[in-house]
Structure 1
């Protein structure tokens, strides 16, 4: 049976020699890209297109057409290739956007012709290029995923997003699109539409697709359920997914492989939940439609109760199938999390991880820093580390206001503010602990001294560059020194001599913690703070604010650019973060040291021994 995928859903591939089939309502170009574990292309030579059709294991059609069939040999693509993407693009001389033509249908078929998985790319509008399917490698096994990511700016934008520089992407897109549409192909453009059944059905004989884009006003309706999930099997049994292994991702070092693996888990969880929600929404929509039909047909009133019961049973069956697929994917992700979490280095690990008890002096700066955990309601107990790449390209804002979330509104103000400062201190200690000695320097602005209790570990250990700045004079002095550093480093970089700095300028990266903003700040200080937020990250000056945005409302729109420049975090569970793939609202939970634990003090002691 064919697994009809919804956007974001994946399906295992037991076959490595497959055929890709494309059916469209207009001539399209079918291209194939060979990318790394993040889908990035090594260069123009990693795209198979009509002008350069063949890559190891891949072969693209030689012209635009309304139907395509071409082979993929996943065993021959090379060890560096982790993602093979099927790209569809509209050539010149035809429709300018996919929203003006029937939705294309893409399938993966076995050598005997049986389709393994299929996806109808619905929901497109102004896009002229789309990543339809992705075949990707995880833990030495291959899967196929329905992507459906369209690009209104065309193939060039798609290739730029895949990692090619702008000029190279533009040139490659032009070369790939420089094909003539054969007259025979153009004349048969209407044939696929005729070959399709009533609205909502797939290619002749194929089950209808369940892919629905809920934001599209012309979304298609279907009547067929998604493919039922296979019976879950224990890892290691025949047909079961391989046992998870920590670091089973691409990268030059174990740290980089673990970072990529965590992001792979994050993406897999996002997409499998998206597929489940899509399937449930489809089942509910079909139930509503069938109930309306049963009530609106006068001739069926005598059997209306039976029709309603049958409709509800079909809905429950669809949801049960979707739940089985979700349970299967979550079981695999939980097994992966169980082996990955204990293997994480200190920069990625929770504060309760034993790695903090034996962490030695780091030899180089880490790739990323753990800010907390992310989870979704469909996966209780499964938390994915939220890792932020270093150096920090954006400052952080820990919101200590009570209007940010339900949990904040239910908490005592003083308790919430203490939690926010504890979180800031924990981030500062982690930054210091995972960098070699002398690579990071921490400054604190606490105009009213309200954060003294939370800051005590930093003050006692002596890791601060200076005592916390108090009052308006302390605010002005600290901001002046850091602004001067940004100006001098920028001038040195522009002069081509980044190391030529005055002897009183600390070459280490700087972290500024600002507490109780805007207390003690006049307009000049606010302007300097905005300058540090905008210009500081590029030259090693990073901002961590602990503040209530409502308290700064007196400045009006003056501070809006500041808040937008910072990444907001919450000291209590909150739902304000979204993933880059399907834009779920994720629950963020901060990672704080366990109560009554001395892990922060031990980490600070080790920091001081390296100075």
Structure 2
């Protein structure tokens, strides 16, 4: 029977193969340290963390996320290990909470491989601490137990590791921090806070998806559901998840493998009941566009899309978890048969093997049935929501663009592409980013780190990247009100001339792109000065003292041909704009290949980390903030031979001439 531990309490563990499930209010880093009989780490290799996620008998998540599932096989731990400490830490330098006192207490549960909870602990009482040892698995004679620890460290990871006797604690903490930060380039943001009413509505509308709430990507020794370079981040930078009560572990008896809904809600947590919406004629709930909380239709659609994204992620996580459980169960049954010489051969052995494989197939089939049911409901909802989207949220092939007119207000978000998973064929979720942008974009036009891009010719890939940049720049110009957006382009060698043609021909880009080293220098100097002036005015409370000719509209700087035409000063200015520009309305969109800038060495690493990496071809490089799925990103390219982009830009320019100062 599961127990809910208090600090210092212990409980025996029933077996060697376990999972540690973590649920937090926002992205956290999860890891585990191995200790000897004296509670000391013997070497840096005795810790599993995002930069080194796998050790013998231990595997942890490779990213910061709100939900984690850590796999433990106590029998496979290195000799001399007497303790396993489960540690949690807040990501450093990402704009999120600085200590655990500012967020809901994290929840940690020890479960069997089938999801049956053994013991759980909520790490309450934390304040200024930014790292905590949540649980300790320790050996007592010939058995293992779990103890609730809850020991926090205001000094963060470095203080925690030093307390366990690691001499190079500061260096290792920096390595972990760098690994998490590097992964933030490849992660989708956490959604806005969801109310109890929202959760209840989604649970009633999409049964299995919400039933999978809190399911993590299945992890076991040798099977990780996360990406080494994926993490929760930014606008796509981390935000508070706002769901302290979301998910922990499945209630005993609930399993996707069994064909029913999984209930990951902890028995001790209350959830507000909500009446289910009326079913349709076939018994399924009829989806409605804008069926979410919000003051306006756009806000309701925005929240509904996030709901669909989360439901999709958790439904697939539950399915993958059920499949992993079925495979683990089959392996155990086969191992039992093959491990005994008396049953290894003969008719009995063949029968046992056949039965084990049939059970595996049945469990997987049932799990797939649950997933298919949830995906069908989500697909029906997507078919209703997609046509109802406003231009800022819509694809370029949406008919809403044919009735486009310049908006009077800035929308709350803009679409930067689509996200999908291989299990959901045909189901795409809009990738929405809040406005104003809180983070710049980097369109990767190189072959490194992308399997899909390796199949495309280098010149064609660069051209597609430039077209993607133009499509995004045009969309931003279209969704901002007249004179609230200014586009700046640097194209030192003129390589993007063909892709930039729609912007120039329509007048949406009123001046030729900055060319050569002189053009790069002048543009960067002007935007850097703007950032300095606005920052000083804001800090001193004297915004009315800004020069009258200063362009206070949102600025987007599109950079092509990097690092051609850039000297050391220009590179430093670019880094400055990436770091400081978004807070005062200056954003960066770079079309670049990191390989081209290798000569700069590590000096450009902070620049790449400050930007959200997207690709000009569909590629599975983004991760969600819950379970770390590899989401396939599809860029927002304009359909071939379509004139929608040109027509929209003409409307933008016409509105600027009619109502603005242009």
Indicate yes or no: 2:533 matched with 1:488.
Answer: yes
Deviation at 1:498? 2.4
Aligned to 1:26: 5
Matched, 1:259 2:318: no
Cα deviation, 1:133-182, whole Å, max 9, x if unaligned, reads x89222693766465699xxxxxxxxx94659xxxx9xxxxxxxxxxxxx
Q: Distance in 1 between matches of 2:400 and 2:149?
A: 50
**Other structure's SS at 1:137 match:** helix
Is the alpha carbon distance of 1:609 and 1:562 closer, same or farther for their aligned partners in structure 2, counting shifts above 3 Å? same
Q: Label 1:603 to 1:90 Cα distance change in 2 as closer, same or farther (>3 A).
A: closer
How does 1:20-419 map onto structure 2 within 5 Å? 23-24=2-3, 26-27=5-6, 89=122, 99-100=135-136, 136-138=199-201, 141=204, 145=211, 161=240, 207=253, 225-228=257-260, 236-237=280-281, 240-300=283-343, 301-302=345-346, 303-419=348-464
Q: C-alpha separation between the residues in 2 aligned to 1:140 and 1:269?
A: 13
**Structure 2 residue 488 is matched with structure 1 residue 443:** yes
Query: Which of 597, 600, 622 is the matching residue for 1:555?
Result: 600
Residues 412-431 of structure 1: matches in 2 within 5 Å? 412-431=457-476
What is the alpha-carbon distance in structure 2 between the residues aligned to residue 26 and residue 425 of structure 1?
55
Superposed CA offset, 1:258-312 (max 9, x none):
0100111000000000000000011011111111111122332330000000001
TM-score scaled to structure 2, two decimals? 0.63
The C-alpha deviation readout for 1:61-107, integer Å capped at 9, x for no partner, is xxxxxxxxxxxxxxxxxxxxxxxxxx963578xxx9763489xxxxx
- The secondary structure found in structure 1 opposite 2:556 is strand
CA contact (8 A) 1:446 1:469 kept: yes
| Cα distance in 1 between the residues matched to 2:439 and 2:381 | 30
What RMSD in Å do the two structures reach over aligned CA positions?
Answer: 3.3
Q: Are the structure 2 counterparts of residues 426 and 91 from structure 1 closer, same or farther at C-alpha, using a change threshold of 3 Å?
A: closer
User: Contact between 1:441 and 1:465, CA under 8 Å: does it hold in 2?
Assistant: no
- Structure 2 residue matching 1:276: 3-state secondary structure: helix
Deviations 1:584-610 (A, max 9, x none): 010101121111111111111110111
Matched residues, number: 445
Deviations 1:102-147 (A, max 9, x none): 9xxxxxxxxxxxxxxxxxxx99987699xxxx89222693766465
Question: Any conservation in 1 of the 2:124–2:150 contact (CA below 8 Å)?
Answer: no
Spell out, residue by residue over 1:365-394, the C-alpha distance to the aligned partner (whole angstroms, 9 max, x if none).
Answer: 011111111110111111111111111111
Alignment of 1:457-536 (within 5 A): 457-536=502-581
- Supply the distance in 1 between the matched residues of 2:2 and 2:302 (Cα, whole angstroms): 38
Identify which of structures 1 and 2 has the higher relative contact order when contacts are C-alpha pairs closer than 8 Å and 6+ apart: 2
Over 3 Å counting, the alpha-carbon distance change for 1:382 and 1:91 in structure 2 is: closer
Q: Deviations over 1:26-79 (max 9, x none)?
A: 358xxxxxx9xxxxxxxxxxxxxxxxxxxxxxxxxxxxxxxxxxxxxxxxxxxx
Q: Which moved more, 1:427-436 or 1:290-299?
A: 290-299
Q: 1:295-335: CA deviations, max 9, x gaps? A: 12233233000000000111111101100110110000000
Return closer, same or farther for 1:317/1:123 CA change in 2, 3 Å cut-off.
Answer: farther
CA contact (8 A) 1:374 1:588 kept: yes
C-alpha separation in 2, matches of 1:504 and 1:90: 54
Distance 1:126 1:587, change over 3 A: farther
Contact 1:210 1:282 survives alignment (8 Å): no
1:516-595 alignment, distance < 5 Å? 516-595=561-640
Please give the secondary structure, in 1, of the residue aligned with 2:391: coil
Contact kept, 8 Å, 2:472 with 2:636, in 1: the verdict is no
Q: Distance in 1 between matches of 2:332 and 2:487?
A: 61
SS across alignment from 1:397: strand
Q: How many Å separate the matches in 1 of 2:328 and 2:440?
A: 43
The residue matched to 2:392 in structure 1 has which SS?
coil
Shift, 1:467, TM fit: 1.6
Please list the CA deviations of residues 443-485 of structure 1 after superposition, one character each: whole Å capped at 9, or x if unmatched.
Answer: 1100011111111111112222532000000000000000010
Ranges in structure 1 where 5+ consecutive residues have no aligned partner: 1-21, 29-34, 36-86, 103-121, 151-159, 170-201, 212-224
Equivalence for 1:602? 647
Assess if the C-alpha contact under 8 Å between 1:461 and 1:608 holds in 2.
Answer: yes
Q: After superposition, give the CA deviation of every residue in 1:188-233 in whole Å (9 maximum; x if it has no partner).
A: xxxxxxxxxxxxxx99xx64x769xxxxxxxxxxxxx534469xxx
Where do 5+ consecutive residues of structure 2 fail to align? 8-24, 26-119, 126-131, 139-144, 153-195, 217-238, 245-249, 263-277, 657-662
**Contact kept in structure 2, 1:139 and 1:245, CA below 8 Å:** no
Distance change in 2, residues 1:437/1:568 (3 Å): same
Q: Distance in 1 between matches of 2:123 and 2:525?
A: 55
2: distance between equivalents of 1:252 and 1:465? 37
State the shift of 1:524 in Å: 0.4
TM-score by length of 1: 0.68
Match of 1:190? Answer: none
8 Å CA contact 1:402–1:409 kept in 2: the answer is yes
